[in-house]
A and B are shown apart, each in its own frame.
Chain A
Amino acid sequence: QSALTQPPSASGSPGQSVTISCTGTSSDVGGYNYVSWYQQHPGKAPKLMIYEVSKRPSGVPDRFSGSKSGNTASLTVSGLQAEDEADYYCSSYAGSNNLRVFGTGTKVTVL
């Protein structure tokens, strides 16, 4: 099972928006509405930001939104804040044999 493809980096100024893509195949991202997104600060455990493509867990700001089209999912962070600077990973259900696949990760920098 190959990792999902994410851009290595993305950036934006405070208050701007940034969108991160996550490209897979019809066997993972395109086949199920089970894409999730995680934020990871250096030295910390990942934190769930989005599940089931576009749902936000309690406590996650509505500046974070998710979507999917075909084999590509996206995470948009609106109104960028300094604390949003982190690594972001997507993940998808990949069927009963492989269960889960993660993206390659994107480092978001707030300029």
Chain B
Amino acid sequence: EVQLVESGGDLVQPGGSLRLSCAASGFTFSTYPMHWVRQAPGKGLEYVSAISTDGGSTFYANSVKGRFIISRDNSKNTLYLQMGSLRAEDMAVYYCARAYRYSYDYWGQGTLVIVSS
């Protein structure tokens, strides 16, 4: 059974940093591109970042470019999102999602990031 389990969400002050993790199981992690998608409270879904199977290519939404870094450790079946210079508008539930044929076929349960002083 495919499972994606996010962790690392927390309350952080504006300007602060946070690292999210996504532990994958039930599939060959190294063969799938992975994405982060977020959802602000009461709002819609927003693509955040993506990474290729080997981690050699990374992509970012304009809203997080230069502040967030996506990475993966295929030996640990884990996806990461290093978040810096956090702003109030970054407050959201962050989901990791497996990319499949230009869609997302599996999602984690999400981890909540609160940005507030």
Contacts and interface: CB of A to CB of B under 8 A. Distances in A.
Contacts of A32: 102
Closest 9 CB pairs of A and B: A36-B103, A34-B102, A51-B103, A100-B47, A45-B107, A105-B44, A102-B45, A93-B102, A99-B59
Interface band, chain B? 20 to 34
Contacts of A98: 47, 61-62
A48 interface: yes
A18 to B, nearest CB: 19
27 contacts: A1-B61, A3-B44, A34-B103, A36-B103, A38-B45, A45-B95, A46-B45, A46-B107, A48-B100, A48-B105, A48-B106, A51-B100, A51-B102, A51-B105, A52-B101, A52-B102, A52-B103, A89-B44, A91-B45, A91-B104, A93-B102, A99-B35, A99-B47, A100-B47, A102-B47, A103-B44, A105-B44
Interface residues of A, number: 26
Contacts of A40: 45
A1 B105 contact: no
A104 interface: yes
A91 B46 CA distance: 10
A103 B37 CA distance: 13
Given A46-B107, A48-B105, A52-B101, A89 B45 contact: yes
A71 to B, nearest CB: 17
Nearest to B45: A102
A1 B35 CA distance: 17
Contacts of A101: 47
